[in-house]
Amino acid sequence: MIALKVTIGDVAKKANVSKTTVSRILNENYAHTTAETREKVLMAIKELEYRPNALAKGLKSMRTNVIGIMLSNLKNPFWSTVLEGVEDTCRELGYNLMICNSNENPEMEEEFIKEFQMRQVDGVIINPTCKNPDLYDKLIDQNYPMVIVNRRIQNENAYGVVVDNVKGAYIAVNHLLKYGRKRVAVSLFKNPFVSTWKERLEGYKKAFLANGFTEADYIIMELEEGKDQKEYIKRFLRKHPDIDAIFSTNTMVTLEVIGAIKDMNLKIPEQIAIVSYDETIWSKYLDPPLTTIRQPGYQMGQRAAQSLIDLFQSKSKPLPATVVLEPELIVRISCGAIPKT
């Protein structure tokens, strides 16, 4: 038995009114309706189990109440948290969500933007690959409602929600240096496009300079995505046997770093201390419990969804701005300091 499609016309017929009247009542436009007809119509709707066709409504009204989110990675649990924030906010504000995953691939990114536009989503939240600057510029020029999350793009007129990555890296590395580490390496992906990695490197350097070190003290371990990172890290550590701490800018890499250190039979934190992005529910159960930088992912998702929806709901369009959220250092014993507990 296939569900019969019941339309606004069926409801109108059943209630002995016009489609117009039904439409008005559906949209809570009660100003022009008596309580009596309202009752009749609502009854008919209930009896027929009528559900408005959102396609038709969207086609006519030019708004779908759907927003799109494009992530670049589903594996990192940070993004689940962001997604949760976005999802909750959408539900509260009456929006539905379309999702896609660029996988850091700029062609995919462009393709998915097109698809979102064809589907007439009211706006998009995007963690950009950062490899499509012309695309971002074009969308912004066209006033396409868009909120950039997590990473920064080179455009003054973008709306964004980010976490302060310079600060996050700074407090991580500063902590290591304050507790006496001298040879602190940073691990990061060799990707000239992504702002987060540039900023975390900047924070790393800033902490060095603030603690009386010089550029000569930087130890930068650049990783290529997709390679066998553990092997590379081991080679790097053998080449730099004086390293006494590692600041890892990525959760997955951190695990490889821990693996490499264990393979080499070095002790954490006695011989090598670790501080890592991002805090997860596992961090405190790892061996050893991990000192991390916590990023407020849920809030990032919330703020992004709110800002986006503001963009097409508020009469006076808010000025372009990037909200900057604060990271937080969670101290555990992987960095050698005594945990606060």
The residues of the shown chain that bind DNA, judged by CB under 7 A, are 5, 7-9, 16-21, 23-24, 26-27, 31-34, 36-37, 52-53, 56-57, 59-61
Map residues 36-75 to x or -, x wherever contact with its own copies holds by CB under 8 A.
Answer: ---------------xxxxxx-xx----x-x-------xx
- Residue from 217, 288, 299, 323 that binds its own copies (CB under 8 A)? 288
Distances (CA, A) of 6 to 18, 52, 155: 15, 9, 47
Stretch in the footprint of its own copies (CB under 8 A) among 34-42, 148-156, 179-187, 281-289: 281-289
Phi and psi angles of residue 40, each rounded to the nearest 5 degrees, phi first: -55, -50
Closest approach, Cβ 39 to DNA, in A, equals: 10
- Residue from 48, 99, 264, 323 that binds its own copies (CB under 8 A)? 99
Position 7 contacts its own copies (CB under 8 A)? no
- Residue from 7, 23, 37, 80 that binds its own copies (CB under 8 A)? 80
Q: Which is nearer to DNA, 11 or 148 (CB)?
A: 11
Element (H, E) at 24: helix 19-26
Rounded to whole angstroms, the Cα distance separating 113 from 341 reads: 46
Give 30's contacts (C-beta < 8 A, 6+ positions apart).
24, 38
Residues facing 246 on adjacent strands: 185, 274
Other beta carbons less than 10 A from residue 15's beta carbon: 22
Closest approach, Cβ 146 to its own copies, in A, equals: 12
Rounded to whole angstroms, the Cα distance separating 253 from 245 reads: 15
Binding partner of residue 23 among DNA, its own copies, none, CB under 5 to 8 Å per kind?
Answer: DNA
Position 117 contacts its own copies (CB under 8 A)? yes
Cα 73 to chain centroid distance, Å, stands at 10
